[in-house]
Amino acid sequence: MSTAAAMHVTTLVLVGVTHRTASLDVRERLAFSAEQAAAALAVFRDRFPGREAVLLSTCNRVELYAAGGPETAAPAASELIDFLASCRALDRDRLARSACEHRDEAVVRHLFGVAAGLDSMVLGEPQILGQVKQAWTLAQKTGTTGPLTAGMFQSALRAAKRVATETGIGRERTSIPSVAVADFAAAVFERFDDKRVLLLGAGKMAAETLRYLREAGARDVTVLNRTASRAVELAARLGARPGLFSDLAAELAGADLVVSTTGGERPIVTLEDYRQIEPHRAARPLVVLDLAVPRDFDPRIGGLPGVWLYCVDDLAAACDANRRSRQQEMPAALAIVEEEVMRLMADVHHRTTAPVIEQLKAGWSETGEAELERLFRRLPDLGADERAEIRQAFDRYAAKLLHPPLVSLRSESRTGPPHGLVDALRRLFQLGE
């Protein structure tokens, strides 16, 4: 079945939390690593057979996109909340109070805006597009995708690319690491070339942060990661020094600036850990940019003298200023998103009429063929060329008669599902379901 045909008989449902709806505490409790997301999708596949799902988990949002199949409706929003809560051992009622829900076309519009960076804490953030791609790829590998999610996510990527190329909303640096370095670390340190920087983690966010630190003048940068080979690779690629994760305490004792992006299930530096390190720092100031969700540093560390500890939610004010400066690009970006939403939905609605069109054509072709055979029996002296000419005339006549209802179906599809017109045609021409 085509993507569009599937959409006609199913629904889309989205349940999730974002930086707009939920506190960091809820988001970090609900966050999924890639391995956890794959496991959750496998459970979804068994619990909701015949349904599709894509799970998007970033530092600012956890969203579950679900779709029905040809013969099954999508799970209810309440079922999806129960599912997410059970996956992360989170209180169901607490999650429900923070969750947002969307259905059908609103799901499409929301996803397109997310992929384009229009719903990000930092407006126009380019990193989210890669995260949407990763979520889609993971769902494909897990076997929870289908025609409905395929059409939606492919169109979302196209919309995001159009926003990036046709507007100025993402032409300047807008990622969370860039704001963290430029607005927070720079507020404490006037310069970075004489500072010892410790980077925890070796993923994409760590690499992006390291690039910004280099541009800001940082020279002495050490990279630690639980998988040492990844720290070595990142350090070699971007001119830093790899270290051993087992030396974390010693590296923290000598650091001026720490950027942490690991996002483990529990803090890698507790208050007790830091109290043991503190005497070795000789009262030197320390800036910690904890960009991980869940947080890598116990938030109580930020209350100690000489420590400036910032988490992703602390970026909100800087991100709001960034959003205001880019707000003039929003109308053009939203117009592109709306155009792409309408394009997808019009295609969906039009394609849902395919069975009716095929039945109309088949019925008229069958009737025409029977009449032609009757005519040819009555005129046995007709030659092959004459019969072909008469057959072509019949075909042209049938096509002209079918043209008005097909044009009406296309016109109706531009504004919504043409259910009323489809039902009328079924009744008028006695078509089956």
Q: What is the DSSP letter of 353?
A: T
Least Cα distance to 315 among 16, 98, 24, 28 occurs for 24
Q: Catalytic annotation on 311?
A: no
Is there a contact between 298 and 158 (Cβ–Cβ < 8 Å)?
A: no
SS3 at position 229? helix
**Active-site residue among 59, 87, 311, 319?**
59
Please provide residue 262's backbone torsions phi and psi, each rounded to the nearest 5 degrees: -75, -45
DSSP β-bridge partners for residue 307: 286
Alpha carbon of residue 134 to chain centroid: 9
Element (H or E) spanning 82, and its range? helix 77-87
Q: What angle do CA 102, 106, 112 make, to 5 degrees?
A: 110
Please provide residue 370's backbone torsions phi and psi, each rounded to the nearest 5 degrees: -65, -40
Strands 52-57 and 61-67: what pairing? Answer: antiparallel
DSSP β-bridge partners for residue 16: 63, 100
Least Cα distance to 18 among 152, 120, 94, 151 occurs for 120
Is there a contact between 414 and 346 (Cβ–Cβ < 8 Å)?
A: yes
Active site residues: 59
